[in-house]
Amino acid sequence: MTSVLVVDDDSYLLRALRITLQAHGYDVATAADGRSALLAAQQHPPGLVILDLGLPDMDGAAVIRKLRTWSRVPVLVLSARHGSQDKVDALDAGADDYLTKPFGLEELLARLRALLRRSADTDQPAAIMTDAFTVDLGKHRVTRDGQDIRLTPTEWKMLEVLVRNPEKLVTQQQLLSEVWGPAYAKETNYLRVYMAQLRRKLEPEAATPRHLITEAGIGYRFQP
Amino acid sequence: MTSVLVVDDDSYLLRALRITLQAHGYDVATAADGRSALLAAQQHPPGLVILDLGLPDMDGAAVIRKLRTWSRVPVLVLSARHGSQDKVDALDAGADDYLTKPFGLEELLARLRALLRRSADTDQPAAIMTDAFTVDLGKHRVTRDGQDIRLTPTEWKMLEVLVRNPEKLVTQQQLLSEVWGPAYAKETNYLRVYMAQLRRKLEPEAATPRHLITEAGIGYRFQP
DNA sequence: GGGGATCTTGACGAATCCCTGACGCAGCGC
DNA sequence: GCGCTGCGTCAGGGATTCGTCAAGATCCCC
């Protein structure tokens, strides 16, 4: 879920944006002035910032410049001012888009999607690490001591399901139906065979697994 | 010098934009309809596209979608229409910004700078190098030991898809649908044939590839 | 229309992977 | 102690998949 930081001193607009954005599946944080906005962005780095220029404590462009000293998060500026110079200032300070009030919510959402699409190119999907091996879901790759580990398609699928649910218990039925299909829900044999292969390839001591843990009678669990 | 492709059927506006952009140090190419715009973008890939929606031959959103099938160049849309739906359509088709006429030149230039600044982050270096060969995506050229390597169109497309996703695993379906089209998702034969040709032309030892790596049962990976 | 490059298609060993059954072991209830 | 269940291990046969080659089919430029 993408997190959006909305910065505006108009509490009414703030609430309206929060509701709309949450309804569209975004995770929303808010701030009412420049100082708290910068603080919030630092403590919980958002995936995107919506920034009103008319803040009580700081100039909008100054907020952007401050933010840009350490973050490249996409910034969409809102403003009541139509003046061309305001737009130029904000954009050159580091903003990515500029929308003048009043604006349509549909347009705001579309511009948001465009910005996020762009930034998704650079954002690396985080790799999950343990002290023994690293799983990079984006690159579809597993490394151990810097060395690539060759996994067969089935091994990978199984590892993927487990890694996507870190620390959570994945039932045997869930694993079987996600890897082999719903029709194989009874073939718990498969799990034992492939789990053993995974452990041989990934665990330092396959006999005493520390990251690929079996919960007897129920399923398996991935421990980062 | 950044090159900008301006697409507009209004020859007056086209000339005005050309003069303004050139005065600001951009290298300008122009096109008057969708078909020639796509052709121009393919033959001389620009660093940015300014696209008027009101083209005589194609729907604007369609032009963007076509372009997006093989290019991620930033697209700034111009339009006389203020309707929110037009903006949403264009942005969701893959545009990065939308400006309604009449617009201030200063604002256009500022938005242009913002887009170029953003794309500078993602732009891959013009040439991707390995210790065996070099791929220049912009110039559409592959060299090895300083010598140009002749690739057939299909070979190039396949190499391009792989090189655009360095280190990432590209699935067979992804490769097939990007090179041959979605209807060919089953023809894994093609991949084997062309991958062999690529390796013969690019790998020092085609028998033990180090840069064009196959992941059995899943796909292929380019290793810089 | 001719000739060359390029793209499809089929076939073949070789390598790899998936499934299967058998066996031993540990934990548990009786 | 004994049977039962669930788990880990192993090895081999059958099925896929891969790399390779070569023969048409097709396209395109002259």
Q: Which runs of consecutive H residues, i.e. helices, occur in chain B?
A: 11-23, 34-43, 60-68, 84-93, 105-122, 153-164, 172-179, 188-202
Best mutation target, A49, A140, A148, A158, to test chain B (most B CBs within 10 A): A140
CA distance B155 to B145: 19
pLDDT of amino acid B85: 93
Nearest-neighbour CA in chain A from B57: distance (Å) = 25
Q: Is B206 on the interface with A (CB under 8 A)?
A: no
Contacts of B217 in chain A (CB under 8 A): 152-153
Instruction: Outline where DSSP puts E strands in A23-138.
Output: 27-31, 48-52, 75-79, 97-100, 128-129, 134-136
- The chain-wide mean pLDDT, for chain A, equals 92
Question: How many residues in total does chain A contain?
Answer: 224
Nearest Cα to B129, choosing from B144, B150, B140, B148? B144
> B6: Cβ–Cβ under 8 A, 6 or more apart, which residues?
B14, B17, B18, B21, B28, B29, B30, B31, B49, B50
> Which pLDDT band, with edges at 50, 70 and 90, does B141 fall under?
confident
Query: Lowest-confidence range among B41-45, B46-50, B210-214?
Result: B41-45
A-B contacts at Cβ under 8 angstroms? 79
Contact list, B121 vs chain A (CB under 8 Å): 72, 122
A106–B88: do the CB atoms touch at under 8 Å?
yes
How far is B19 from B113, CA to CA, in rounded Å? 17
% of chain B with per-residue pLDDT over 70: 97
The per-residue pLDDT for A90 is 96
Has residue A81 got a pLDDT over 90?
Answer: no
Asked if residues A155 and A198 have their Cβ atoms less than 8 Å apart, the reply is yes
How many other CB atoms sit within 10 Å of the CB of residue B218?
A: 18
Evaluate whether A105 touches A99 at the Cβ level (below 8 Å). no
Q: Which residue of B has its CA nearest to A156?
A: B218
Confidence of residue B126 (pLDDT cuts 50, 70, 90): low
Q: Where are the alpha helices (DSSP H) in A69-212?
A: 84-93, 105-122, 153-164, 172-179, 188-202
Say how far apart CA A173 and CA A185 lie, in whole Å: 5
- The C-alpha of B212 sits at a distance from chain A's nearest C-alpha, in angstroms, of 15
What's the farthest any 2 CA atoms get from each other in chain B?
Answer: 61
pLDDT digits (tens, 9 = 90+) for B45-80: 799 999 999 899 889 999 999 888 767 899 999 999
CA distance linking residue A46 with residue A37, whole number of Å: 11
Cβ-contact B30, B14 below 8 angstroms: yes
Name the average pLDDT for chain B: 90
pLDDT of residue B175: 92
Tell me the per-residue pLDDT of A142-198, one tens digit each, with 9 for 90 and over. Answer: 999 889 999 999 999 999 999 988 889 999 999 999 999 999 988 899 999 999 999
Predicted pLDDT at B125:
65
Rank B120-124, B125-129, B202-206 by mean pLDDT and report only the highest. Answer: B202-206
For testing contact with chain B, the best of A71, A81, A87, A91 (most B CBs within 10 A): A91
Q: What does the block give as tokens for B94?
A: 């893959």
Task: State the average pLDDT over residues B103-131.
Answer: 86
Name the strands in the sheet holding A219-222, side by side, starting at the edge strand that comes first in the sequence.
A169-171, A219-222, A212-215
- List pLDDT tens digits, range A56-65: 999 999 999 9
| pLDDT for B120 | 78
Determine the Cα angle at B104 with ends A102 and B122, to 5°. 85
Q: Which amino acid is at A135?
A: V
Could you identify the residue written with the tokens 């005589």?
A: B56
Closest residue, chain B, to A87 (C-alpha): B107
Q: What is the pLDDT of residues B107-119, one digit of tens each?
A: 999 999 999 998 8
Q: Count Cβ atoms within 10 A of the Cβ of residue A70 and give its class: 0-12 exposed, 13-18 middle, 19 or more buried.
A: exposed
User: Does residue B123 carry a pLDDT above 70?
Assistant: no
* pLDDT computed for residue A128 by the predictor: 85
CA distance A212 to A132: 11
Q: Which residue has the higher pLDDT, B171 or B128?
A: B171
Which helix or strand (DSSP H or E) is residue B77 part of?
strand B75-79
Provide the 3-class DSSP secondary structure of residue A22.
helix
A124 confidence band (pLDDT: 50, 70, 90):
low
Q: Over 70: is that where the pLDDT of A123 sits?
A: no
Residues of A in contact with B113 (CB under 8 A): 91-92
HSE toward the beta carbon, residue A46, CA cutoff 13 A: 25
Contact B92 A104 (CB under 8 A): no
Say how far apart CA B215 and CA B172 lie, in whole Å: 10
Assess whether pLDDT exceeds 80 at residue A126: no
Rounded Cα gap, residues B16 and A199, in angstroms: 66
The per-residue pLDDT for A87 is 95
Which phi and psi (to 5°) does residue B15 adopt? -70, -40
**Each residue's pLDDT tens digit, B154-199:** 999 999 999 988 899 999 999 998 899 888 988 999 999 999 999 9
Note whether A141 contacts B91, CB cutoff 8 Å.
no
Tell me which DSSP letter residue A183 carries: G
